[in-house]
Amino acid sequence: MSGASVRGSVSHGGSDGDRRPRILVRYASDMSRCSGCEEPWCEEHGEHYSECSCVGPHQDDSYDYEYDGDKLYAVEKRL
Ligand SMILES: [Zn+2]
Ligand SMILES: [Zn+2]
């Protein structure tokens, strides 16, 4: 027998059972500025950060937040 797969023993750290996607949280300070109005501009979505679908750090109603290193991730709440 090779490749002993250790499973069970839910320990802190790796959560393989939790497959909710993690979304990297985007801050307004990560964004460039709109050349027209100086609002934060999302180049990924091509719209103002306030209007695009990036997940920001204050959407507690829809997401749980967790840090991984110095990055903040949002995880969709289970309903
Ligand atoms: Zn603008
Ligand atoms: Zn965006």
The secondary structure element, H or E, covering residue 75 is strand 71-76
- Structure pTM? 0.67
pLDDT digits (tens, 9 = 90+) for 16-75: 566 889 999 999 999 999 999 999 999 999 999 999 999 999 999 999 999 999 999 999
> Contact, 73 vs 66, CB < 8 A?
yes
Task: Band the pLDDT of 11: cuts 50, 70, 90.
Answer: very low
Six-digit token string for 38? 């100086």
- If you measure from the C-alpha of residue 5 to the centroid of ligand 2, how many angstroms do you get, rounded to a whole number? 40
- pLDDT, greater one: 1 or 23: 23
- If you measure from the C-alpha of residue 39 to the centroid of ligand 1, how many angstroms do you get, rounded to a whole number? 6
List strands edge to edge, sheet with 40-42.
Answer: 32-33, 40-42, 47-48
- If you measure from the C-alpha of residue 37 to the centroid of ligand 1, how many angstroms do you get, rounded to a whole number? 4
